[in-house]
Amino acid sequence: MNGLSNMPLLSVLLLLPLAGALACLAWGRRAAVVAVMLEAVVALVLQSGSATPALRWIRFEDWAWIERFGARISLGLDGLSLLLVWLTVILLAVAVGLSWPRYRQPGFYALLLTSCSGILGVFLAQDLLLFYLCWEIMLLPLILCIALWGGARRVEAAFKLLLFTLAGSLLMLLAFLGLFLLHGRQTGDYSFALQALGTTVIPPELAPWMFGCLAVAFLVKVPAVPLHGWLPDAYQEAPTAVTLLLSGVLAKAGIFGLVRVALPLFPATWNSFLPVLGVVALVSIGYGGWLAYVQTDLKRLVGYISVAHLGFILLGLAASNAMALQGALLQLFNHGIATAALFVVVALVERRTASRQLPQLGGLWSRTPQLGAMVLFFSLTALGLPGLNIFIGEILILLGAFRVQPWWGAAGMLGVLLAACYTLRMVQGILWGVPRGPEKMADMNRGEALILAPLTVLVLWFGLYPMPFLTLLRGPVEQLLTHIVTTGGLP
Amino acid sequence: MMGELLFLIPLLPLGGALVILFAGGRMPRRMLSGVAIASVAASAAMTLWLWPLAGDRTRATLFTWLDVGALQLPVEILFSPLAAAMTLMVTVVSALIHVYAASYLHHEPDIRRFFTLFNLFVFAMLVIVLADNLLLLFLGWEGVGFCSYALIGFWYRNPDFAAAGRKAFLVTRAADVLFGIALLWLFRLTGTLSIEAINLQAASLPPTTVTILALLLLAGACGKSAQLPFSSWLPDAMAGPTPVSALIHAATMVTAGVYLLCRMFPLISLSAIALAVIGLIGAATAFYGATCALVQRDIKKVLAYSTISQVGYMFLAVGAGTVTGAMFHLLTHAFFKALLFMVAGAVIHLAAGEQDLFRLGQLSKRSPTLFWLLLVGALALAGVPLTAGFFSKDAILAACFARQTLWWTSLGIAGLVTAFLTALYAIRLVYLLAADRESASGHGPAPRGLVWPLLPLGALALVGGLLNLPAVWGGHETLGRWLETPAGALPSHDLEWGLAAATLLLVAGAWLFIRNRYRVPPTVSPGGAGVSFLAAGWQLDSLIRVIITAPFEKIGCLLEKSVERRLSATWPAGLGRLCQVTGQSWRVLTSGYVSHYLAAMAWGMVLLLAMLVVLLVL
């Protein structure tokens, strides 16, 4: 195993999708499958042959990049990023598998792979310039995908998404540059390294502004209410593969940015920002859930469900104690799997009924019981049924939040009731009642089952035996807590 | 080592469910139902075999579910006498109802789904019963909720049935929110979720907090047990197949709330206010359910409201401080109500699906066995002396009167009034079913599989009183000794005799009244406003619709139309337009005329030269 620990696996992980994208353009879309498989292999061996667990990083790689600006390609992998790398690779595989029968152009797959490279870069980057670069790389290909392969109003949706996120990322760049200059002036060492910038002394009148820039940039990506304006149209119009990457992984990038970049750079501001974040989180839970209840388009509905669930994760961050943070970070993975699975079943339903509108659906169970069971299963996951993965994250977040601020926990509980309202309405509309649509339809075929089976296993595994993964997160959470506590911290 | 075997009790039904789920499609029907029955029966046998472990309150741990920060949460079960008694009841009654169901659903094409869910339900229920900590209990709690949802809506093609399932889930979940808050709060206060540890620490908590916590737990219990104000889901839940009503909505799941209160009793009993409220809700619901049951025309709805009413008695018992009484009534009720539901199922089966009491009849002629079983169940329900229901109900009323305060005496009187109403509707049921009239015809005699599971239950409904025969009647209060639970204030012997006499009089009065009214089979009459008010469950449904459901939907639509449109359409469009306008206004710079560009170039040169000159001069 020594050979493995010396190999620059993180760089391989990062560049492989890009290479896959080029290969796609050269040799057709089959190259995408090879690339995804190789990527999965790399992601699985990442952990093995790692250094001693006492160290902060499981793996760390550092390459020279732009010496003049002190920007380096430094990549760090700890438990949190490992979990998110796994999530990204799984969802990439699901996205490719789901698009396979429908999209034949290699360009589509090339764009997905490119975006995936960017996402992985965001999760691994320890250098802010690299982080920013990857942040843009992860989004632009997806926007192109929407604009080229989306639904009827694709251009409008893509443009809206571009506008929102570009505004966000420009604010982010502004904050990064400000920090870069400040740090350089103070120490004479002009560097973009996250580690180094964390020690910058930030003038108190400047800190809230810079932090605000970062917070807006990241919250737009999550998205938190009221910055979610791009979401309904983008989710509805995008090809399902893109929707599931947007909701499953890109949303996580926003939250990852909050805890990995905004928190360590501005720990003091972070603490005073928590009450605001708590309210934003609760508004997201309630507002997202309420709107999910009145939607008729399934993709929009799942989109709002996602907003509500992300609200829970934000609530965990707002509580910022060990339990809530660990729950929130685990929930990043759980939510990714659950939402992606919901989008997949919606796509499968749409394949058969040619409609996504609830009033035109119904009685699916009598014709496709297996697909029906999958719809039911993942809806129950979203509902937060104990024993399935979403519940684990939610209960840890709520237990933690109640310790910090009882009414947060109590209000969060109401969100759990809302979850039952909207998911059962969805299940009722799709599965039960008088059969609508075509008389005969095929049940799940082998390929479709192959996409959903791993997701089912993961949902159950994380719901029943989450300890191995929670242990992975223990180190990163302690790291975050030291940042929070050393600067005054919480009561 | 023996302790770990305890996990087999819940896991056997789970295994059965999984086998049926994955292999059921390839099995013949008989084998499929055989697997379902065998797994539950094995679980019952396991309970009996491991019974001695309950005396030592054995604990067993499987693995660590969660270990985060201050939270240590093993998957641990506690086999206490209380849990053991409940487990035995659940497994035995479930096994009998499984046998019944296999015969009841012999025409149903999709029994694979039915038995998967049915076995899964038994698993979840046993998790509730055996769980040592509140979160594991919550897993079972929501699990039974889901199974109940899916089984109520089993015949999903009818949208009303599916909606009834959804209603059941949502109403109980609304109550679970309050239960969940109690759970979060308890963890904040005690740092643990183990029920025993919480009960031990309860005495050190501030009294007001304990009261609020007890009330929150009560709310959760009310949801699951269909007590006021969360009772409206249970009558609708009768949309499910009758075995489901018998098992889930009579014998086991609806009593989970009572069981929860019994488990948390050391905490709850610290607050006199909470106990008083529990008693009040119990008595009020008992009365409410009985009045509604009096006028129902659907045979299953009579039983549903009756269940609401009887569970109310159990709440009253917990409030009066007699956990033993609550558990006693829980057990006897499970026997006679499961019996009544299954008889009702058989009657409906005989009448080819007819459920209207005014179109059924002649049961005593068509199937004497079923009639006798019905009579046994009804007598136990009415509390005729010496049946199981008599002893358990009297124990509760005695505990109320023995408190000798105005509050408890009045609740006891309410209980007595309800007992009279109970006797009325129980005897009415018998008379209507036996009435001599043209009844809906169906296929021949009841299949044997439908009848024989009822016999043991019939026997238990008759002699179940022996479980906890009070000393006055020469018994040893076996159940109370075994459970070692609080029995509340001890009633005097005079009180017990007096109550027995009162009950006898009430039942006799009720019988006379009904006999006079229903001796000649009544014709169908629409009934006055009062009757329809009672029949609609005091209009609780429409009230909830007006106050909660309708505004919720309306506000949702309003949000979508106003706020959401602004956030996702109007304002982003404004932002876009801003960008466009800005771009347009700068567009004049690139006008496309070469002369403009040349001029700009010239001016630029001039500016640069000027800057150079200035720099050189300085």
**φ and ψ at residue B198, rounded to 5 degrees:** -65, -45
Tally the residues of chain A: 491
Q: Rounded distance, CA B397 to CA B409, Å? A: 9
Neighbours of B382 (CB within 10 A): 27
**Each residue of A304-341: pLDDT tens digit?**
999 999 999 999 999 988 899 999 999 999 999 999 99
User: How many other C-beta atoms are found inside a 10 Å radius of the C-beta of residue B440?
Assistant: 15
Handedness of CA A140, A144, A150, A156 (dihedral sign): positive
**Interface-testing mutation among B73, B156, B193, with chain A (most A C-beta atoms within 10 A):** B156
Q: What is the DSSP letter of B107?
A: T
Q: What is the pTM of this model?
A: 0.92
Between the CA atoms of B3, B6, B7 and B11, what dihedral angle is there, to the nearest 10 degrees? 160
Q: What is the DSSP string of B526-582?
A: ---HHHHHHHTTTTHHHHHIIIIIHHHHHHHHHHIIIIIHIIIIIHHHHHHHHHHHH
Residue B63 in 3-state DSSP?
strand
Could you tell me the pLDDT band of residue A56, with boundaries at 50, 70 and 90?
Answer: confident
Task: Provide the β-strand partners of residue A59.
Answer: A77
Q: Give yes or no for A294 touching B (CB within 8 A).
A: yes
Provide the 8-state DSSP code for B308: H
Helices (H) and strands (E) in chain B, counts: 31, 2
B143 touches chain A (CB under 8 A): yes
**What's the token pair of residue B30?**
């008989």
Q: With b meaning 16 or more CB within 10 Å and e meaning fewer, what string describes B383-413?
A: bbbebbbbbbbbbbbbbbbbbeeeebeebbe
In this structure, what are the phi and psi dihedrals at residue B129, rounded to the nearest 5 degrees? -65, -40
**SS3 call for B77:** strand
Q: How many CB atoms lie within 10 A of CB B441?
A: 10
**Pairwise CA distance, residues B180 & A416, whole Å:** 10
**Which residue in the set B69, B180, B557 is minimally distant from A323, CB to CB?**
B69
Mean pLDDT by 10 residues, chain B (618 residues): 85 93 87 92 93 87 87 90 92 92 87 92 94 92 93 89 91 92 92 90 90 94 91 90 90 91 92 93 94 89 92 93 90 92 88 81 81 91 88 89 89 92 90 76 71 89 83 77 78 84 88 82 71 84 87 88 85 84 84 86 94 89
In A59-78, the residues whose Cβ lies within 8 Å of chain B are: none
Cβ-proximal residues to B419 (8 Å cutoff; 6+ apart), any chain: B383, B393, B397, B503, B506
Domain map (residue ranges) of chain A: 1-265, 266-480
**Nearest-Cα residue of chain A relative to residue B156:** A432
With contacts defined as CB-CB under 8 Å, which chain B residues touch A428? 159, 162-163, 166
pLDDT value at A50 more than 60? no
Give the CA distances from residue A205 to residues A5, A210, A212, in Å, rounded to whole numbers and listed in that order.
45, 10, 12
CB A169 within 8 A of CB A132: yes
The H or E element that residue B95 is part of is: helix B81-104
Burial class (CB within 10 angstroms; exposed 0-12, middle 13-18, buried 19+) of A448: buried
Cβ pair A193, A70 in contact under 8 A: yes
Note whether A52 and A141 are within 8 A (CB): no
Compute the nearest-CA separation of A160 from chain B (Å).
Answer: 7
CA distance B405 to chain A (A): 36
CB < 8 Å to A466, chain B = 65-66
3-state secondary structure at position A193: strand
pLDDT tens string A153-167: 888 889 889 988 888
3-state class (DSSP) for residue B68: strand
Measure CA B7 to chain center. 24
Report chain A residues whose CB lies below 8 A from the CB of B568.
Answer: 228-233
- Name the least confident of A47-61, A264-278, B603-617: A47-61
Touching check for A109 and chain B: CB below 8 Å? no
pLDDT digits (tens, 9 = 90+) for A76-130: 888 899 999 999 999 999 999 999 988 889 999 999 999 999 999 999 999 999 9
Distances (CA, A) of B395 to B285, B379, B466, B602, B605: 18, 17, 13, 107, 107
Is residue A78 left, alpha or beta, with left meaning phi > 0 and alpha meaning psi from -120 to 50?
A: beta
Q: What is the mean pLDDT of chain A?
A: 89
**Cis peptide preceding A223, ω within 30 of 0:** yes
Q: Nearest-CA neighbor of A483 among A273, A262, A276? A: A262
Question: What digits encode the pLDDT tens for the residues A273-299?
Answer: 999 999 999 999 999 999 999 999 999
Chain A CB within 8 Å of residue B215 CB: no
- Residues 6+ positions from A5 with CB-CB distance below 8 Å: A49, A50, A51, A59
Exposed / middle / buried, residue A354 (Cβ in 10 Å: 0-12, 13-18, 19+): exposed
| Residue of chain A with shortest Cα separation from B569 | A229
Distance CA A64, CA A60 (A): 14
Per the DSSP assignment, residues forming a β-bridge with A22 are none
Q: How far apart are CA B203 and CA B63, in angstroms?
A: 30
Give the distance from residue A233's alpha carbon to the nearest chain B alpha carbon, in angstroms.
8
CB contact under 8 A, B184 and A160: no
